[in-house]
Amino acid sequence: MSAQTSSPLRGRPIVKGFYEKRTGSVQYVVADPETKKCAIIDPVLDFDPNSGATATIQADKLLSHIAREGYTLEWILDTHPHADHFSAAGYLKDKTGVPTAIGEKVVEVQKLWKMIYNWSDSFPTDGSQWDRLFADGERFKIGNLDVEVVFTPGHTLASIAYVIGDAAFIHDTLFMPDSGTARADFPGGSAKTLWHSIERIMALPDDTRLFTGHDYQPGGRGPQWESTVAQQRRENKHLVKARTEEEFVALREARDRELPMPKLILHSLQVNIRGGRLPEPEKNGKRYLKIPLNSLDGASWGE
């Protein structure tokens, strides 16, 4: 394995994680201590599937933190189209005017889910719902911090990680060591591809800080979201058990066969491939989600 960054990345960002307990998601504000410029990564739009209510409680917490710290927001970033919560990128874009971004392979996810939802040709599958689509290896800045995009598919077709200075935001590729690795059975997912994405992350310097996208508090412990490359290599329960690609694929696929689909997968993808925007209101002024039946073949039934 070789390191993925083309040259050393400048900076040590200030990272503040915000845990959203309803979906076990972790949102981040990542700031350059020199310029106080910052980015938001993977913001959550509140949604209650029982009542159909939406809210901006989580996103507003991020904005309040930015205001308190005296930061200037430069980017609203998503790592992939999430399957278990709504992205607040659209709301934050409207509120702040700051550009949104995601990986360029989101267009493949849009094409796939456009078919699942049987949407008309009027829905664009060109990623135009975001201001910027990042390619693998592309670099940009948050203040004076260097950022490199690393394409890390497997969990989804479009997953990327953001390596920011000495930190990497690795979404659902790896969880905390006691939780293992991400599932790879969503439409477009692949355990084999996920293994190679994990190898890319494990090729970063040992002391790279890794920030995951979810934590499900195994054993009832408190929420956690920060580890290092060395710690993951040493302790991750799936990587310790599965030392080769073949072993990992067998382990991951067996585990995935037992997992029910996320409760919000059919709700959230139709929002998240729109750049975190809810469906347009119908003639009565109400917005409606579309739930395709029997569309995820082979999915385990939830209890």
List, for residues 120-142, the tens digit of each pLDDT value: 888 999 999 999 999 999 999 99
What's the pLDDT at 207? 96
Q: Which tens digit of pLDDT belongs to each residue from 242-277?
A: 999 999 999 999 999 999 999 999 999 999 999 999
pTM (2 d.p.): 0.95
Could you give the CA distance from residue 153 to residue 112 in angstroms, rounded to a whole number?
15
Residue 16 has pLDDT above 60, yes or no: yes
Helix (H, G, I), strand (E, B) or coil at 38: strand
Could you give the CA distance from residue 20 to residue 242 in angstroms, rounded to a whole number?
30
What's the pLDDT at 7? 62
Residue 291 has pLDDT above 60, yes or no: yes
Could you give the CA distance from residue 226 to residue 212 in angstroms, rounded to a whole number?
7
Q: Which residues of 37-61 are buried (b: 16+ CB within 10 A; e: fewer)?
A: bbbbbbbbbbbeeeeeeeebebbeb
Q: Which tens digit of pLDDT belongs to each residue from 63-80?
A: 999 999 999 999 999 999
What's the pLDDT at 6? 54
Q: All domains of the chain, ordered by start, with CATH?
A: 14-272 (3.60.15.10)
Sheet containing 44-48: order of strands: 53-55, 44-48, 86-87
